[in-house]
Amino acid sequence: MSNYSLVIHGGAGVLASSTMTPRLKEMYLKGLSDAIEAGRLVLKRGGSALEAVTVAVVSLEDCPMFNAGRGSVFTHKGTHEMDASLMEGENLGAGAVAGVNGFKNPIKLAAAVMQKTEHLLLCGKEAELFGIAQGLETASPDYFFNELRHQQWLALRDTNEVKLDHAVQVPNKKMGTVGAVACDMFGHLAAATSTGGMTNKKYGRVGDTPIIGAGTYANNKTCAVSCTGHGEFFMKAVVAYDVSCLMEYKGLSLQEACDYVIKDKLVKIGGEGGLIAVDKNGNISMPYNSEGMYRACGKNEEPSQLFIYESPEMF
Ligand code: ASP
């Protein structure tokens, strides 16, 4: 097989189309375009799905437009706590971190957990010490400071509300959580997801992103999935693994499984969000039940396609 597929997302919450300015749209599309092309380069030269999803997510983490890495939202205490995970479908290898701060690319920390420890999920201070020992690049608090994110937090700080990035009513708000899924030339699958979580989150809250089976899952037998949305619901519905199970045990196609979980099951329990997925044949699915989802996909020699709302965007 000499085909490949790559899909990325920058979050299922988008600015209402009525408030999206041409300048902001251009900035989001640039962030998506840089990430999809970086990941495609890896796949084109015969690189692995795992490498491609890592490279794409690093690019999205470095872009301040999205809620991950540099653009992470503020916690109730005015700090940043990031979650990330990745998984490869060939051997079900996986790594994840939760509630970490001070690393430029939390996805690299998750990769180090997978490659350098016998554990799967590390959290908080100890995970940070592990990252430092691995020589991963750190960043000071001002690297993560972002005026719009700060406004979002100020709007909620004195309330008990915890909000999805896109649900915070601040003009020109930014939103995110990022992810990537890929099928490489050898038919291997991988998924990666990274987030700053929800604005004003408290008590060490951890969402679906670092939970294998909820926010991220990959299995060469079925599919690779990366989710974005209200994490509590994605955990209850075990969304990423559910898509894989519907394919494995019920024989659903990728599209049928994804649509059923996002547009039916999740809607019934009140969960807002979406996911991106690829199967072992390189098929792609990108369903969401929110107003839109920042996303892009690229396959073989076909040009990449970028989306915010339903129709493809010109960039
Ligand atoms: N799923 C993420 C969380 O709940 C947030 C998001 O996707 O925007 O932490």
Helical (H) or strand (E) element with 29: helix 22-44
User: Residue 90, exposed/middle/buried by CB under 10 A (0-12, 13-18, 19+)?
Assistant: middle
What per-residue confidence (pLDDT) applies to 158? 74
| pLDDT tens per residue, range 182-231 | 999 999 999 999 999 988 888 899 999 999 999 999 999 999 999 999 99
Say yes or no: CB of residue 272 within 6 Å of ligand 1: no
Look at 114 and 14; give whichever has higher pLDDT: 114
Give the residue with greater pLDDT, 218 vs 160.
218
Q: Which pLDDT does position 163 carry in this prediction?
A: 65
pLDDT of residue 126: 98
Query: What's residue 176's pLDDT?
Result: 65
How sure is the predictor about 298, in pLDDT bands with cuts at 50, 70 and 90? Answer: very high
Q: List the residue whose alpha carbon is closest to atom 4 of ligand 1.
A: 231
Q: Ligand 1 mean position to 26 CA, how many Å?
A: 23
Determine if ligand 1 sits within 6 Å of the CB of residue 209.
yes
Residue 168 pLDDT > 60, yes or no?
no
Of 65, 100, 152, 164, the one to substitute when testing ligand 1's pocket (max ligand atoms within 8 A of C-beta) is: 164
Residue 220: which residues within 8 A CB-CB, separation 6 or more? 89, 90, 187, 188, 189, 280
Confidence category of residue 38, pLDDT binned at 50, 70, 90: very high
pTM summary value: 0.93
Mean pLDDT, range 138-160, rounded to an integer = 81
Closest residue by Cα to atom 9, ligand 1, is: 197
Any idea what the CATH number is for the domain that residue 265 is in? 3.60.20.30
228 Cβ closer than 6 Å to some ligand 1 atom: yes
What residue numbers bound the domain in which 95 lies?
5-313
**Mean per-residue pLDDT, 117-128:** 98
For residue range 45-69, list pLDDT tens digits in order: 999 999 999 999 999 999 999 999 9
Give the residue whose CA is nearest to atom 7 of ligand 1: 228
Atom of ligand 1 nearest to the CA of 232: 4
Reported confidence tier of residue 175, pLDDT bands at 50, 70, 90? very low
For the sheet with 273-279, list strands across it. Answer: 216-218, 223-229, 273-279, 284-285
The atom of ligand 1 lying closest to the CA of 197 is 9
User: What share of the chain in percent tops pLDDT 90?
Assistant: 78
* 228-258 confidence digits (pLDDT tens): 999 999 999 999 999 999 999 999 999 999 9
Q: Determine whether the shortest distance from the Cβ of 210 to ligand 1 is under 6 A.
A: no
Q: How confident is the model at residue 166 (pLDDT cuts 50, 70, 90)?
A: low
CB of 71 sitting under 6 A from ligand 1: no
pLDDT band at 165 (very low <50, low <70, confident <90, very high): low
The pLDDT value given to residue 154: 79
CA atoms of 305 and 204, how far apart (whole Å): 37
186 Cα–ligand 1 center, Å: 31
Cα atoms in the 13 Å half-sphere on the side-chain side of 113: 26
- In the reported structure, the alpha carbon of residue 229 is separated from the centroid of ligand 1 by a whole-number distance in angstroms of 5
Q: What is the mean pLDDT of the chain?
A: 92
* Domain count of the fold of the chain: 1
Strands 94-100 and 121-123: parallel
pLDDT category at 174 given cuts 50, 70, 90 is very low
Cα–Cα dist 199/173, whole Å: 12
**Both tokens of residue 273?**
């969000």
What's the gap in Å between 208 CA and the centre of ligand 1? 7
Asked whether 197 lines ligand 1 (CB < 6 A), one says yes
pLDDT at residue 145, as a whole number: 81
Write out the catalytic residue numbers: 177
